[in-house]
Structure formats: structure tokens, C-alpha cells
Amino acid sequence: MTASKDAVQAPLLRVENLGVLLQNEGRVVRVVDAVSFRLKQGETLGIVGESGCGKTLLCRSLLGLLPGCAAVAPDAKAFFDGKDLFRLSESSLNKVRAAGIAMIFQDPLSSLNPVMTIGRQICEPLVHHLGMTARKARSRAVELLHSVGVSGAEQRVDHYPHQMSGGMRQRVAIAIALSCGPKLLIADEPTTALDVTVQAAILDLLMRVQAGSKTGMILVTHDLRVAATRTHEVAVMYAGRIVERISAGALFTHMRVPYTRALVDAIPKMDRPPHAPLHAIEGRPPGPAGAIYGCAFAPRCDRAIEKCRARTPPMRSDRSGRHWYACWNPIQEPAP
Amino acid sequence: MTEPAPVLEIRSLEVIYEAGRRRRIQAVSDASFEMIQGETLGLVGESGCGKSSIARAVMQLPPPTSGRVMFFGEDLTRVDRLRLRQLRPRLQMIFQDSVAALNPRRKVGETIAMPLRVAGKVPKEKRNKRAREMMSAVGLDPALFGHRPFQLSGGQCQRVQFARALMTEPGLLICDEPVSSLDVSIQAQILNLLERVRIRHGLTILFISHDMAVVKNVCDRVAVMYLGKLCETAPTEALYRQPAHPYTAVLINAIPMPGAPLSRPEMRAAAADLPSSIDPPSGCRFHTRCPVARARCAEIEPSLETVGPCRQAACHYPLCNG
Amino acid sequence: MNPPSEIPPAAGRKSFSEALGESFWLSAIWLVCVIFFAVTADLWPLAEYDHMNWESPAAPPGTEIHAEIPGGGRPVEMKKVSLLGTDTMGRDILARLIFGARTSLAIGLVTPCIGMVIGGLLGMMAGFYRGRTEAVIVAVMDVILAFPGLVFLLAITFILGPGLDHIILALGLLTIPAFTRVARANTLRCARLEFVQSARMLGQSDIGILVQEILPNVIWPMIVYALLVVSYMIVAEGALSFLGLGVPAPTPSWGAMIAEGKEVLDKAPHVSLIPAMVMFLTVLSFNIMGDCLRRAVHPKEEQL
């Protein structure tokens, strides 16, 4: 997994100043705010954060899949393949959804139709969007199932989702996502509902698929270890904002933002004896309705200074231009 | 060295569920282990391996199909209903779904005072005072006394569960995936709380989890389960340094480790899918996914054998020996 | 759009009465009025509800008629403006409406209570103990459901004789299966949850668990359902009066009043329409209250 050789190529996805507004009991709340990032072809961006930090809404907004009470802020931009996703008509957005961007959800049982064979579910986009004949689509479906590691694909195409295990269903969901050859794959907590051994296998599969077809991928996860080992760049989110963007290899050692450090420290370590205390972050994340003055993490942060409570820190980068962080009092020394 | 009397001793425990039309699911088969005073035993395995069934069989909710559950020398499967009701408060359980574990119509403080109310003979003022004390002991603001569970966060609900369980001064605390549905930062808070109350109350804990990293941080000893069978028990440090059973190795290997190269491919489970426990594989149940299985594994079922100090493994070809 | 710093701080949770909404309180006011007049009917200077006045049958509202006002000792006859007019037998509609409210409310409010107590008990037992208890209870309820309700009512009036108490008893028995179902479904849902198991781990007995853990979670859905049954029962009384199975004359009831007016619907529509309107408003109010309560109680249940 090396970075793309062609460093000057235009990014596959460029998101600028993305905000998501949520209507909550008559008031409008900004649940995602000032999110900007870019993603190159063949690269994986990991988005990590605790539940309620806005990572799922962020992904859904890119595909126009927000729930009825939420809307994208008017000044947000997201360029995919040269087109601004937020200014597309419904029909052209449908075209992008079909062939450009595919999404994999956390719970494969609810994303698959329970009364349709998995074969039909894979064939549907093939026939509908790529204009394949039914027979050709079926043989392609078997091929796809085979490529995502479903054994006995010829028989499995006629099975229903409830006849398969969680891991197999997620493989089917991946096969459906890949059916039209997307340029961008958004995986929202794809392994959270699965066992560890299955999780490793599914992540292996996603990495293989992505490296093989030069697809760009956004991997949303709450597990920093998954993000650090399976992506190129990691964006850490807190209370609707990206607080740090860092290359995956440096995530556990060279973080600048105290929140990232606190998350890393809170993970149970394998090299410490039993009963050793963990570094917990006291308090809990602000709710979506909470007013945010200054840095949202300041009340829980042990490095907070006066300025942190007064003004929201902007994103700035270090000298290399690859590591971005939003903190008034960043950590200077690498973690032990 | 004199052996302290075990708090809990399980002998050839078997749990079978009827799944209609003569289909029987053997959730736990022939499980035996014991726990001594003050010990934390981790029970790990993938979902559906029978971890929770063991916990429920210990509590007699429902009782096991066969086998013995000795709690401080009394067989819970044999005692009469009255004695069971007397003994149960000494066995407490923390559930994964902390919201479902609390009665939504009852105030948090009353939930915590509940054990004293059931035991009777404690006046209401004293109950509530004890509940408030317990709330501060588990890191809950006593001002939350009159709140209802839906007004609390997942972490706070988990603390309420701890407070309620500790009110009875339990002899054994069973934690069934207590932190699985929590965020990392809250998970660390709850694990630290568990550690604090363990020391203060001298608790004996059966800790059920699928997260090998959490278990490493919490437990003195680990028992690994696969498809209803124990496949390895060992002291934590030894188990993680050198697993004896290939399945243990697979589990440890599946933990993503930042900084280290991606896990050794030779120690991956061969097939990703767990076989069905209605019709488990012949011989060693793990042989269908085992990276080092040989012909003998499919024919003869291995029994738990001693493979080192205080450790046993059920494998014909253990990865370490002696 | 607001920048995040200008978002007002989170408002507190809506109080229970706010969550119920205006329509709930409007309905409540109407029902309180109806109940108030029904209870205090004897204290008002109303005409005797069964005094027939053949001089002015089906008089329109506002007509001056001779009426008997019950006063200390023997009734006094005097001239009086009839606010809502008279029915086909010249009886004062207002008086009949207010006294009729007693009948209709008695049927509407007492029947669901019978169903709620018996049905709730059976349903909770079925949902909690499962097994044979559940099988027997469900089977009995199925039999009651399959039995034609009208035939049952006819049989009761035939055996026990006509009368308000017998109608209430018969209708009450007919609502039991529905309440049993509501109670059983909610008990099943609760009994699965871990808080019931943790109560058991505290050494709580079966009765203790049923009363302290499950009942508080079952009672609200039951009350919401009972409010719907109230309006069903008020309407059912009306239908029974049409069939001649209602409360025997001269005791007034709204249903009987509507039924009496059907012959003069073309000449004096108010004889039927006024009681129909009152019944409509009352039934609507019970329904609105039930709906609002369900909505106010439900968000918490979804957190389960």
C-alpha cells in the first residue's frame, strides 16, 4: 500500500466546508460543521470518532441520503469527478449513486431486502444501470460473489439473506456495492456488528478490492486500531468537526490534538499487565443540541488554556502540509 | 500451598436449547472450571459460542440441562426454590444492554435501593441514603437520584447497574459484555470503575467478552470457548505470550495492532464462517477453520489436557507445550 | 444560517403536560363539564326527565312549555323556557341529556374497567408464566372472541333481565379478550428484558416481579387502550338502543334519545341531532385524549 505515484492528479473527492443542519424540536442545530478533506483515487480515508460525533451523517450527506429532518448547509461543496454533489439534480445524483459512489452499511441485515434472493439483489443494478441481460447479469453476480469470498457462489445466488451468517451477508453487501464498478466506496462501520475474526477477513477483503480496482474509500469506524492499520489517512472527528487529519502510520505516535491522544490512551493495550488502570477521558461528548463556545473538547481537555474556551480553533497544518490539526495548544512531543 | 475453597465450581455443565421440530442446539457441552476468591476469570469467544449460556446457567436463568454449579459448596441445581431465592442476591450480573437492564418506569435511585427493599427490614430513609452513597461510590452524581433511565447516557446506565449489583455485597459478579456497546472513552471509564470496585469489595468476577484486548487488561485467567466447548484455560500473561490452542492464536491475531505489521497470515481462521452449533463438526470442532489442522483432528475429539503450569488446552497439536 | 456559537443552549426536556398538547386539554375540559353535570344533575333546576308533556311534542329549542320542577316534597308545575326543546313525547331534552350522560358514562367508564382488571390480570399471567397457563388463557379468549357479541347480549338480557347493570356486565365481559391481548403482548416484551432477570437475581418473588417490575410497564398501554374502548362502548350503547336492547325506558340514555328522534328526523331534526352531537363530541374527546396520551407516553417506550 504505497501512496499514489501520481501526486499531482486531481483528487477523486474534494469536500469543502461541509455542514449538516438538523432540525431538533423546532431549533436548527449544526451537527456537522466546517468539514473539509480530499481523497485521492486508490486511497483510503478513515473517519474515526465516538458515537454521535456526526460521522454517519457526514457520509450520508455525500450521497444525499440524509433523513428528512436534516439538510446540507447551503455553502457546502463536495466535488466528485468534477461535479458538485450538492448541486446535482435528483436524476444525475441517482446516476452518481448507481455507478460512481457505493455505500456499505453497518447492519447488512437491514440493508439487504429480506424477501429477495441475493442473486436478484446483485443483478438488479447490473440490469438497471449497466443494461446487462438477465443471464449475463447472473453470471456476473456469481463472479462477484466469488470475488468477495463467498464459497459455493453458484448455489448461494439463490439463497435469501436470512439463510446466511452476518459475515456472509456483509460480503454480499460488498458485492452489491461493487457491482457497478464504483470509483468511491463509503463503508460506514462495516465490521462493527461482526466478530473479530470475521472483522479481520472483511477488512482484508475491502483492502484487496480497493487496491485492485484503484477505488477511493472512506472507512468510517469507531475503532482507532482499525483506522490506523487499514487506511492511508485518518480524520478524527469530535462534536461534528474534524479536529485532526493525520497519516495513519503516525496516528498512534505523532498526534497533535489532545482528543486524539486521549482516544489512543483509552484503548486497552496488549503490552500491559492485567488490572493496570486505563487513561479514561472524564465527562462525555456534548449532545447535538449543546451550545459550543470555543473548542468543543475544552471542558474535558487537560491541556485547555484560556483561549480554548473563547474561540474555536481553526484547522492548520504543520510544515509538511500533510498533517492538519485544530488546536490552540497542540502536543509537541511524540507519544511514548 | 493450600488451595482456597473455590467460589464457583462448574462440573460437566451442559446447556441444550430446543429449537422446535426436534432440532436441538447444544449451546454448552461438558464445560468445567472453577474460580477462587478474588479472581477475575475472562470467558472469551465469538458470538454464539455459549459464553452467555454459561453465565445464565450459573444464575439458574434458566438452569442448565445437566451438570453441577457449586457456589460456595452448594449445588445451585439441587437446592430448593426458597434457598435459591436466598442465594441469588449473592450472585449478581451486569448486562451488556444497560438500558434494557433497568426498569424504564423506575427512578434510578429506587432501582439502586431495590436490593434492600427486596431483602426487607430496611426503612425507606436508610435505603435511600445507602443508594445515594453507592451512587457517589460508582461515580454517579447523587442529583440523578430522581432521573429515569432514558434520561441517562449508556455509560451512566452501566454505572447504575454496578451500583445495584454492589448493594447486595455479591460473592460473584458476572459481567456479560459490560463495555461492548460503549465508546472507547466511556469504556475506559467503566473498566476503571470495575477495577476500583473489585479492589474495594474484594470481588470475584466472571468477565465475559469478545474483545481480547479488554480481557487482557481485566482478567487474571482466561477461558477460551469455541462452539460450546472450552478449548483453552490459562493465566492471562501466559496465554497472550504464547497461546496453546490455534483458536486462541487466531483470536489474538485478529486484534488490529497499530505500529505492528498486519497480522501473520498463517494464523488466520481458514473459513470466515462459524459452523452451526445444531450440527457441530466431527472431531475437534475447530478443525474446519483451523490453520494447522491435520487428519486426526477431524476424527478424534481432543480433551482438555494440561499443557503447562495452571493451563490446559483441548488440542491434539498444541502450539506450545510445557 | 446560524454559526454554531449562536445556537441557544439546549432547552430542558418538554414537560409531560406540554407534550400532551392543546387538543388534549380542550377534550379534557369538555369531558370534565359532561362529568360535572352528570354527577350534579339532581342539584340543577331541571325539568323532570320523564315528565311527558303532550301539548308540545318535539318542540324546537327555546319554546316555552309547562314543566314539572322537582322541589322539596312534591313537584311544582310551572311555565318554563325549554332551552333545547322537547322530544317526541314532550320531555325536556336538556334534562334528558344530562341524566342520560349518567347512563352513557356509566357504560363507557365502567365496562373498560371490568375488561382492564380481568383482562390485564389474565394477560400478564399468560405473558409471564407462558406454557400451559398461556395456552389455556389464549384458548378461552379465542372462544369468547369467536362467540357473536349480540347473541351473548341477548342471552344475558334474557337470563338476567334488562337493566343497566346487566348491560355493563355483558359489555365488560366482551372487552376482556382485547385487554388480555394488550397486556400479554406488553408483558412478553418486558419479560424478555434484562431488568426482569436482575430483579430475580435480587431474590424477588414471581408476584413481586409481576407487581413491581412488569405492571408499571403494562399499565400505561392499557390505559391508552381503555380510553379507546370508552368511546367504543358509548357508541355501542347507542347501537344497542336502536336494536331495543338498551337501557329500559324511561331511564334516558343518549343512544335511546337518538333512536327516538329517528321518526321525526324530517320535521324536528334537533330531537336526534342534539344528543348525537353531544355523543360525537364526547367520543371524539376520549379518542383525542387516548391519542395524545399514547404519543406522550410512547417516546419513552421507544428508548427501551
What angle (nearest 5°) sits at the alpha carbon of residue A134, between those of residues A131 and A135? 120
> Which stretch of DSSP H or E encloses residue A41?
none
Spatial CA neighbour of A195 closest among B138, B271, B134, C205 = B271
Spatial CA neighbour of B237 closest among B183, B168, B166, B309 = B309
Q: What is the pLDDT of residue C7?
A: 29
Mean pLDDT across chain B, nearest whole number? 88
Distance between CA A4 and CA A6 in Å, rounded?
5
Classify residue A159 by burial, with Cβ atoms within 10 Å: 0-12, 13-18, 19+: middle
| Structural contact between residues A253 and A335, judged by C-beta atoms closer than 8 angstroms | yes
Q: How does residue A291 score in pLDDT terms, banded at 50, 70 and 90? A: low
**Chain B residues with CB-CB distance to C under 8 A?**
59, 61, 85-86, 88-89, 91-93, 95, 97, 99-106, 114-115, 118-119, 148-151, 161, 164-165, 168
| Structural contact between residues C64 and C99, judged by C-beta atoms closer than 8 angstroms | no
Neighbours of B264 (CB within 10 A): 11
Q: What is the pLDDT of residue C76?
A: 64
Q: Which residues contact C283 (CB under 8 A, 6 or more apart)?
A: C231, C234, C235
Neighbours of B244 (CB within 10 A): 27
Spatial CA neighbour of A16 closest among A99, A103, A80, A90 = A80
Residues B69-75 have a mean pLDDT of: 92
The ipTM estimated for the assembled molecules is 0.84
The grid cell for B38 is 478474588
The pLDDT tens digits for C211-253 are 989 998 899 889 989 988 998 898 888 888 888 787 877 788 8
The grid cell for B238 is 501466559
pLDDT at C5 over 50: no
Q: Do A30 and C11 touch (CB under 8 A)?
A: no
- Choose among A197, A262, A269: nearest Cβ to B254: A197
Distance between CA C148 and CA A29 in Å, rounded?
56
With a pLDDT cut of 70, the percent of chain B lying above it is 93
pLDDT at C51 over 80: no
The grid cell for B73 is 459448596
Mean pLDDT across chain C, nearest whole number? 82
Classify residue C42 by burial, with Cβ atoms within 10 Å: 0-12, 13-18, 19+: exposed
The grid cell for B100 is 434494557
Taken in order A164, A167, A169, A174, the sign of the CA dihedral is negative
Q: What is the pLDDT of residue B2?
A: 54
Residues A41-46 have a mean pLDDT of: 92
Q: How does residue C301 score in pLDDT terms, banded at 50, 70 and 90? A: very low
Chain C: give the shortest CA distance to residue B231, in Å: 29
Q: What is this structure's pTM?
A: 0.84
Distance between CA B186 and CA A262 in Å, rounded?
11
Q: Do B100 and C193 touch (CB under 8 A)?
A: yes
Q: Is B247 helix (H, G, I), strand (E, B) or coil?
A: helix
Q: Residue A282 CA to chain centroid, in angstroms?
A: 26
Distance between CA B74 and CA B8 in Å, rounded?
9
Chain B: give the shortest CA distance to residue A288, in Å: 13
Q: Which residues contact A199 (CB under 8 A, 6 or more apart)?
A: A191, A226, B254
> Which stretch of DSSP H or E encloses residue A203?
helix A196-213
The grid cell for B66 is 445437566
Q: How does residue C114 score in pLDDT terms, banded at 50, 70 and 90? A: very high
Strand A316-317 to A77-80 pairing: unpaired
- Choose among A265, A270, A273: nearest Cβ to B213: A270
Chain B: give the shortest CA distance to residue C222, in Å: 15
| Structural contact between residues A52 and A32, judged by C-beta atoms closer than 8 angstroms | no
Residues in C closer than 8 angstroms to B103, CB to CB, are 195, 199, 213, 216-217
Q: Which residues contact B286 (CB under 8 A, 6 or more apart)?
A: B226, B227, B231, B245, B246, B247, B293, B297
The pLDDT tens digits for A293-310 are 788 898 888 888 998 888
Classify residue B19 by burial, with Cβ atoms within 10 Å: 0-12, 13-18, 19+: exposed
Distance between CA B19 and CA C35 in Å, rounded?
54
Distance between CA B226 and CA A195 in Å, rounded?
13
Chain B: give the shortest CA distance to residue C218, in Å: 10
Q: How does residue C78 score in pLDDT terms, banded at 50, 70 and 90? A: low
The grid cell for A73 is 448547509
Q: What is the DSSP letter of B92?
A: E
pLDDT at B304 over 70: yes
The pLDDT tens digits for B80-112 are 988 998 899 999 999 988 888 999 889 999 999
Q: Do B47 and A195 touch (CB under 8 A)?
A: yes
The pLDDT tens digits for B130-149 are 999 999 999 999 999 999 88
Q: Tell whether C4 lies on the interface with A, counting CB pairs under 8 A.
A: yes
Q: What is the DSSP letter of B309?
A: T
Residues in A closer than 8 angstroms to B259, CB to CB, are 228, 252-253
The DSSP string of chain C is ---GGGSPPPPPPPPHHHHH-HHHHHHHHHHHHHHHHHHTGGGS-PPPTT---TTSTTPPTT-EEEEEEP-SSSPEEEEEE-TT-B-TT--BHHHHHHHHHHHHHHHHHHHHHHHHHHHHHHHHHHHHH-HHHHHHHHHHHHHHHHS-HHHHHHHHHHHH-S-HHHHHHHHHHHHHHHHHHHHHHHHHHHHHSHHHHHHHHTT--HHHIIIIIIHHHHHHHHHHHHHHHHHHHHHHHHHHHHTT-SSPTTS--HHHHHHHHGGGTTT-THHHHHHHHHHHHHHHHHHHHHHHHHHHHHHHHHT-
The pLDDT tens digits for B249-303 are 989 888 888 766 554 555 676 665 677 777 788 889 998 888 888 899 999 999 9
Residue with cell 448493594: B167
The total number of residues shown for chain B amounts to 322
Tell which A residues from 157 to 196 touch B, by Cβ distance under 8 Å: 165, 167-168, 195-196
| Structural contact between residues B59 and B88, judged by C-beta atoms closer than 8 angstroms | yes
Residues A112-119 have a mean pLDDT of: 88
With a pLDDT cut of 70, the percent of chain C lying above it is 86
The pLDDT tens digits for A221-232 are 999 999 999 899
The pLDDT tens digits for B145-200 are 999 888 888 889 999 999 999 998 999 999 999 988 888 888 999 999 999 999 99
Residue with cell 408499571: C216
Distance between CA A285 and CA C58 in Å, rounded?
72
Q: Do A312 and C2 touch (CB under 8 A)?
A: no
Indicate the range of A3-7, A144-148, A215-219, C66-70 predicted with least confidence. Answer: A3-7
Residues C62-69 have a mean pLDDT of: 68
| Structural contact between residues C245 and C154, judged by C-beta atoms closer than 8 angstroms | yes
- Choose among C7, C8, C9: nearest Cβ to A30: C7
Residue type at B1?
M
Q: What is the pLDDT of residue B273?
A: 66
pLDDT at A8 over 70: no
Chain B: give the shortest CA distance to residue C299, in Å: 10
pLDDT at B248 over 90: yes
Q: Do C8 and A29 touch (CB under 8 A)?
A: no
Q: Exposed e or buried b for every residue in C229-249, given b needs 16+ CB within 10 A?
A: bbbbbbbbbbebbeeebbbee
| Structural contact between residues B104 and C301, judged by C-beta atoms closer than 8 angstroms | yes
Residues in B closer than 8 angstroms to A268, CB to CB, are 188, 191, 211, 213-214, 216-217
Q: Which residues contact B156 (CB under 8 A, 6 or more apart)?
A: B140, B144
| Structural contact between residues C30 and C285, judged by C-beta atoms closer than 8 angstroms | yes
pLDDT at A241 over 60: yes
Taken in order C180, C181, C185, C188, the sign of the CA dihedral is positive
Q: Which residues contact B15 (CB under 8 A, 6 or more apart)?
A: B26, B27, B28, B50, B53, B54, B56, B57, B64, B65, B228
pLDDT at A3 over 70: no
